[in-house]
């Protein structure tokens, strides 16, 4: 059948299984929005308050569901407002398709009104991007975009569509999505045998698991491997939920704000098995700091092998497929003395407990007591993000959605909206700092107008907490522009948007407020007031060995 470009776009999105688009209209995408209007019974559009909110919502939707998130923006400033969200998805390997409008093809490259080279701008932060110059190419371009976003290491793809392409007529025929095929050519018997040899010889193995375990659906295999070789399991921030947080073999996050157990074990291990993770500067990027260990790595992206840390053996391949093949080559072992050392390290404390004050630890204990492993948590970026990682027990994949690689303040609220829409049966909370929350607080209007009952908890310390913490340790407490003194009343702000607002200043208030908040049918903001000098412990100074741990005790 013959359809115009906008109709081809919407029908192709539906063919790809898209149910939700997060976006914001403008002149260059008016034809697309007209097609959305005509197909609103087949596909839902969520109007955000800002294009960055649309990108973060699509990201949160993708992380929570495992599906491709879709966002839509007009040309020029609409397109550039997506950039931070696209970069966030790129750094954390999130499958997303970002669709932008542009000026008509005759006006491209002429500095036309609201024209920008969004393809050039986003080239370093996408897996691939396209500009569609012929309407006959539109359907296949969209199909390729979804394939690329999902294939291999997931990531964002941008499709830029000039306005005249959305109006021109071309042939359309409904097609099934392109079949995903795992590239397993490097998962050879020789490579598997070599990796297995390192594991079978090890007496002090430590598994370091990352977000790739979750992306590949390999969480059960990870647990099977850990139990078979009796190895402690540490995770990256992105890997939280890949291994049951309450399991006796789990030692917590590793790195700059990692647990004592994970960091100390990494320096004592004779083998580190890195699975679906990279060695970033916030984990360990200096081979000398873990010189006692041989290192083996499994990752789908060959660019991550030997990039920061030289490995002794590695395999390029899908984690799930590789572990399935590897498991039969692995021998069972006990490692009793190694596990005793793990227990000793896990008993070490890093911070002082203060049961009589409103603290982050108390908040996360109350949240877990009430909602357990089924709570879906998004975060902004800063101290609150690290407190969440350290003090909440994540035991299921896709329950912690956070900006790990880019560290995007303002990410969490939009992401929570996307997550709640993607998983409406789940309780969804966004953990925020007052600095991060203020960046995209306007998306409260999106949650209210779309009846998305997310809960936002602001750990309000009146400052940019993580930056201030660094100023305390490394700048002799010269607090240059990190004390906010804004005087914002977050309860009144919530109410102004049509949400509910609560304030917690005493421990006795927490349980009742949480119960009311999570039973609300409208969005809720909780102003959780904490001490300005509260710091995140443990901590390793940038560049220091990971066993040189700063603690409060």
Instruction: Decide: 270 and 264 in contact? Cβ < 8 Å.
Output: no
- Among 38, 40, 113, 343, the active-site one is 113
Distance between CA atoms of 432 and 429, rounded to whole angstroms? Answer: 10
Distance between CA atoms of 353 and 355, rounded to whole angstroms? Answer: 6
Residue 224 catalytic? no
Distance between CA atoms of 395 and 56, rounded to whole angstroms? Answer: 24
Q: Which two tokens stand for residue 475?
A: 């700048």
Q: What is the 3-state secondary structure (H, E, C) of 461-522?
A: CCECHHHHHHHHHHCCCCCCCCECCCCCCHHHHHHHHCCEEEEECCHHHHHHHHHHHHCCCC
Instruction: Decide: 186 and 195 in contact? Cβ < 8 Å.
Output: no
- Among 439, 466, 500, 537, the active-site one is 466
Residue 114 catalytic? yes
Residue 76 Ramachandran class (φ > 0 left, ψ -120 to 50 alpha, else beta): left
DSSP per-residue codes, 331-367: PP---HHHHHHHHHHHT---S---TTS--HHHHHHHH
Residue 466 catalytic? yes
Residue 163 catalytic? yes
Q: How far is CA 84 from the centre of its chain?
A: 13
Nearest alpha-carbon partner for 528 in 465, 467, 481, 482: 465
Residue 179 catalytic? no
Q: Which two tokens stand for residue 181?
A: 């095929």
- Among 19, 67, 114, 137, the active-site one is 114
- Among 7, 16, 51, 361, the active-site one is 51
154 CB-side CA count, 13 A:
27
Instruction: Decide: 487 and 511 in contact? Cβ < 8 Å.
Output: no
- Among 163, 346, 427, 500, the active-site one is 163
Residues serving a catalytic function are 51, 113-114, 163, 466
């Amino acid at each position: 059948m013959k359809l115009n470009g906008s109709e081809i776009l919407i029908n192709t999105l539906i063919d790809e299984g898209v149910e939700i688009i997060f976006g914001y209209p403008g002149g260059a995408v008016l034809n697309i929005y007209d097609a959305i209007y005509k197909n609103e019974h087949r596909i839902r559009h969520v109007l955000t308050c800002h294009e960055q909110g649309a990108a973060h919502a699509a990201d949160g939707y993708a992380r929570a569901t495992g599906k491709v998130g879709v966002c839509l923006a007009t040309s020029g400033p609409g397109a550039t407002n997506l950039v931070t969200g696209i970069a966030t998805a790129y750094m954390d390997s999130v499958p997303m398709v970002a669709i932008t409008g542009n000026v008509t093809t005759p006006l491209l490259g002429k500095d036309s009104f609201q024209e920008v080279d969004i393809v050039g701008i986003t080239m370093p932060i996408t897996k691939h991007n396209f500009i569609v110059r012929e309407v006959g190419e539109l359907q296949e371009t969209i199909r390729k975009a979804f394939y690329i976003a999902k294939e291999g290491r997931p990531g964002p793809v941008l499709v830029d569509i000039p306005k005249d392409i959305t109006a021109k007529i071309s042939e359309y025929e409904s097609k099934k999505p392109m079949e995903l095929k795992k590239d397993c050519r490097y998962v050879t018997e020789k490579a598997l045998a070599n990796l297995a040899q390192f594991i079978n010889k090890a007496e002090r193995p430590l598994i370091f698991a990352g977000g790739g375990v979750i992306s590949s659906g390999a969480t059960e295999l990870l647990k099977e491997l850990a139990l078979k070789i009796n190895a402690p399991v540490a995770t990256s921030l992105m890997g939280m939920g890949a291994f049951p947080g309450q399991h006796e073999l789990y030692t917590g996050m590793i790195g700059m704000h990692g647990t004592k157990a994970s960091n100390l074990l990494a320096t004592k291990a004779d083998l580190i098995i890195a699975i679906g993770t990279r060695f970033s500067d916030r984990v360990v990027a200096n081979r000398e700091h873990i010189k006692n260990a041989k290192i083996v790595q499994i990752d789908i992206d060959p660019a991550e092998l030997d990039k920061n840390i030289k490995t002794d053996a590695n395999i390029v391949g899908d984690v799930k497929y590789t572990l399935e093949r590897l498991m039969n080559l692995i021998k069972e072992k006990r490692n009793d003395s190694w596990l005793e050392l793990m227990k000793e390290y896990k008993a070490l404390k890093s911070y002082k407990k203060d049961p009589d004050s409103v603290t982050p630890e108390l908040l996360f204990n109350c949240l877990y007591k009430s909602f357990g492993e089924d709570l879906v948590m998004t975060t902004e970026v800063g101290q609150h993000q690290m407190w969440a990682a350290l003090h909440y027990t994540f035991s299921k994949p896709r329950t912690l959605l956070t900006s790990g690689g880019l560290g995007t303040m303002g990410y969490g609220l939009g992401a929570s909206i996307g997550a709640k829409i993607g998983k409406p049966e789940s309780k969804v909370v966004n953990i925020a700092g007052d600095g991060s929350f203020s960046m995209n607080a306007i998306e409260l209007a999106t949650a209210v107008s779309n009846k998305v009952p997310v809960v936002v908890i602001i750990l309000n310390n009146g400052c940019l907490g993580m930056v201030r913490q660094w100023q305390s340790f490394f700048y002799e407490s010269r607090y240059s522009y990190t004390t906010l003194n804004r005087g914002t009343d977050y309860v009144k702000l919530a109410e102004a948007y049509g949400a509910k607002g609560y304030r917690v200043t005493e421990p006795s208030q927490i349980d009742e407020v949480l119960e009311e908040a999570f039973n609300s049918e409208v969005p809720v903001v909780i102003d959780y007031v904490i001490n300005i000098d509260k710091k995140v412990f443990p901590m390793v100074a940038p560049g220091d060995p990971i066993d040189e741990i700063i603690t409060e005790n």
